Amino acid sequence: MKKVSSLFIALASLALSATATVHTVNNNLNGPGQFSSLQTAISTASAGDTIYIAASPSNYSNPSTARFLLDKKLTFIGVGMRPGEKKENSALSRIGSRFDINDVAANGSSFIGLYFAGVGSTLNVSANVSNCQVLRCWFDGSSSHLTFNSGSFSGWLIANNYFGFNCSSGIDMNNNTCTNFIIQNNVFAEISGCGIQNGSSVVAINGFPNSANCIISNNLFYGGQGAGVANTDRAFNNISNFIIENNIFHTMSPAGAANSVFNNNITFGTVANTLPYGSNAGVNNVIDTDPQLTTFSNATFNPNQNFQPAGGPAKTGAVGGGQMGVYGGSFNWNNSAVPPIPVIKNFSITSGATVPAGGSMTIKVTSTKQN
């Protein structure tokens, strides 16, 4: 067990309930934190606790089982996708093993500001685990990042994440029953080019045929390294009864949905640009029109691009007149880089540098709350 920074703990306590315990994990050599092992922190924590995971150039992994077992309600918070606007991967809270979430005692858990480095079935969920949040995370270089197995699931909020997936799906419900899912203000990118190279059926969101009260809103979908009829990348496969609105489908087609409502979406450069189609309904969709994303290449696969429309119908064509894509809606992408907790900007010692045994020291702290 490592010596913890009291200042770090004091800051963390500002963001949490007084009844919860804050645990810190840091696998950097001589880095401040209670634990260097994430699995040890999970095993030690009690239900309702929070685990802060420090940035590191090394993955937090479980070498014995290649997975973390989550059987209680916990909140995990990393430094975010672009902490302090740094864009080096070494500045991220890197997770190298998957989470197995297979106990209803884990209901209400949250994953915020983490970087998952090529982990398949990253969050592997079963046993009806519900009411969880996945916010401001970067899922990189693997497939089926959120996988739901053998159960009925409700109340998940999946927002402000970047999903980079290979030749498979980003979120897979596996035809289980789901209710009250919100999938909003995420970027879905098929990073391998499978849809062009070999015609594989590559989808972002898969296997939601038994759903109710679910919404897919203000997301950006783009397909790996190409556009047009040769690209079979698509946003959906076997999903039904969704509200699908304010999304940008750029080089990834909106095909694969049924009995859903498509409102105020825009398509560009896909094999199936027309909305609505089949058994779907909807109004005010913009067909095969460039969304004019500010600084964007569909051959670049990281969250550091500016995905905001510079003009045109995507700028003002969302429901209510706002922006389509990730800069509109309830979870504006501007705020997604770091977790929504206070951050110390500076502190100073105002009582002198020398303190006698049993004495006290006065420290002035200035912090900023993240949105």
Q: Are 52 and 24 in contact (CB under 8 A)?
A: yes
Q: Which residues pair with 202 in a beta bridge?
A: none
Give me the pLDDT at residue 356, please: 79
pLDDT score of 84 more than 90: no
pLDDT score of 345 more than 70: no
Side chain identity at residue 227, one-letter code: A
The two beta strands, 293-295 and 306-309, are antiparallel
Q: Residue 366 — very low, low, confident or very high, per pLDDT cuts 50/70/90?
A: confident
Q: Are 365 and 345 in contact (CB under 8 A)?
A: no
What does the DSSP assignment read for 162-189?
A: EEEE-SS-SEE-TT-EEES-EEES-EEE
Give me the pLDDT at residue 312, please: 96
What would the pLDDT profile of 124-153 be if each residue is shown by its tens digit?
999 999 999 999 999 998 778 999 998 999
What does the DSSP assignment read for 8-66?
A: HHHHHHHTS-TTSPEEEE--STT-SSSBS-HHHHHHHPPTT-EEEE---SS-B--TTTS
User: Which range among 194-198, 349-353, 367-371 has the greatest average pLDDT?
Assistant: 367-371
Distance CA(229)–CA(352), nearest Å, equals 70
The two tokens of residue 144 are 């089926």
Give me the pLDDT at residue 2, please: 41
Residue pointed to by tokens 């982990």: 119
pLDDT score of 300 more than 90: no
Side chain identity at residue 364, one-letter code: K
Q: What is the CA radius of gyration of the chain?
A: 21
Residue 330: φ, ψ to 5°? -80, -20
Helix ranges (DSSP H) in the chain: 6-14, 38-44, 194-197, 313-316
Q: Which residues pair with 247 in a beta bridge?
A: none
